[in-house]
Amino acid sequence: MNIVILDGHTANPGDLFWDAFNDLGKVTVYEHTPPSLTRQRALDADAVLTNKTIFTRDLLSSLPQLKYIGVLATGYNVVDIEAANERGITVTNIPAYSTASVAQLTFAHILNLTHHSCEHSKSVKEGKWSSSRDFCFWDFPLIELAGMTIGIIGAGRIGLAVAEIAIAFKMKVLAYDLKPPEQIPESLEFVSTEHLFNESDIISLHCPLTKENEKIINALSLKKMKASAFLINTSRGGLIDEPALAEALNDGIIAGAGLDVLTQEPPLADNPLLKARNCYITPHIAWASFAARTRLLRIAEENLRSFIDGNPVNMVNK
């Protein structure tokens, strides 16, 4: 089997190994593949692995040998699934590999917004503590999480993991999901979006991007939130109307935001959120801990091995 990894640097910038795939066939690893070279590099492949390299209908129609696409992520919108089905190409993804890591960064943003760790550390290094008359100082209100309400939009694995951490902080947890889980933890209260927006002190997004929820955070929904509320997004950038959020932050409609994803990545230099008030942005790293990426590569190898053995798992185009 001819196996081509098109953008290996994303999942493995050099601290992991592709060795397990060598047992499955001939492996070619490209660190990055621009759109202009995708067809050329995938032309003779029986199987390709991709993270962000896009497979359109036209591209798939020009790859007659391709039998398998392994998406090195949970989201698989980089592949035209309908076209893959028509051509009999199996597409798999990597579910649940980064749940703990994403939940962890979600709370890293929450804790930064409630204690302003970044600004306080910076002010100490600039000498403000050394010149302080008192033994301590703070430049921002310090907010305790206990007793606050967090609203979670999307009650899948990650949303529920975030809820568990919130409960450990003694927070009240509201949740909304188009398809709530069959077994709802007693500590969660499922509510309407209207109730969630009105009552939450923190809203955290953990849902896939669909036509139904695209820009669920918009000028109207932002105005429903408390002026003291924080917005967290470690899911997909397209869930947010970015100009509307920037305006809401700058005008004090809400108090702050912690974002790990944007609509366009890397962002354009004129993205209004880059200069918005009290908006902290990390470069899409919630999924990328060493432990999570180790699991990702292991599951990717297991997915491909199962396909070769005739028992595919984690298929997204059943």
Residue 317 lies in a domain: no
Annotated catalytic, 109?
no
| Single-letter code of the amino acid located at 105 | L
Residue 300 and residue 264 in one domain = no
Residue 315 lies in a domain: no
Q: Residue 165: its pLDDT value, please? A: 97
Say which of 41, 87, 195, 284 is annotated catalytic.
284
Q: Residue 70: its pLDDT value, please? A: 98
Annotated catalytic, 265?
yes
Domain count, the chain: 2
Q: Residue 210: its pLDDT value, please? A: 87
Give residue 65's pLDDT band: very low, low, confident or very high (50, 70, 90).
very high
Residue 121 and residue 103 in one domain = yes
Looking up residue 147, the CATH number of its domain turns out to be: 3.40.50.720
Residue 232 and residue 103 in one domain = yes
For 25, the domain range is 2-97+290-308
Q: Residue 181: its pLDDT value, please? A: 78
Residue 104 and residue 91 in one domain = no
Residue 246 and residue 153 in one domain = yes
Residue 175 and residue 156 in one domain = yes
Residue 173 and residue 214 in one domain = yes
Residue 112 lies in a domain: yes
Tokens of 10: 């994303």
Residue 69 CB-half CA count within 13 A: 32
Residue 126 CB burial class (10 angstroms; 0-12, 13-18, ≥19):
exposed
Say which of 236, 293, 295, 301 is annotated catalytic.
236
Residue 303 and residue 259 in one domain = no
Give residue 183's pLDDT band: very low, low, confident or very high (50, 70, 90).
confident
| Span 115-172, pLDDT tens digits | 999 999 999 999 999 999 999 999 999 999 999 999 999 999 999 999 999 999 999 9
Residue 143 and residue 260 in one domain = yes
Calpha distance 74→13 (Å, rounded): 19
Residue 210 lies in a domain: yes
Residue 91 and residue 104 in one domain = no
User: Nearest 5 degrees, angle CA 287-CA 88-CA 179?
Assistant: 45
In this structure, are residues 44 and 1 in contact, taking their beta carbons and an 8 Å threshold? Answer: no
Span 19-43, average pLDDT: 97
What DSSP string describes the chain? -EEEES-HHHH-SSSS--GGGGGTSEEEE-S---HHHHHHHHTT-SEEEESS--B-HHHHHT-TT--EEEESSS--TTB-HHHHHHTT-EEE--TTTTHHHHHHHHHHHHHHHHH-HHHHHHHHHTTTTTT-SSS---SS-----TT-EEEEE--SHHHHHHHHHHHHTT-EEEEE-SS--SS--TTEEE--HHHHHHH-SEEEE-----TTTTT-BSHHHHHHS-TT-EEEE-S-GGGB-HHHHHHHHHTTSSSEEEES--SSSSPPTT-GGGG-TTEEE--S-TT--HHHHHHHHHHHHHHHHHHHTT---SBS--
Residue 195 and residue 235 in one domain = yes
Residue 133 lies in a domain: yes
Residue 93 lies in a domain: yes
Residue 217 and residue 267 in one domain = yes
What distance lies between CA 127 and its chain's CA centroid?
A: 36
Say which of 82, 126, 144, 265 is annotated catalytic.
265
Percentage of residues of the chain with pLDDT beyond 70: 100
Residue 313 lies in a domain: no
Residue 87 lies in a domain: yes
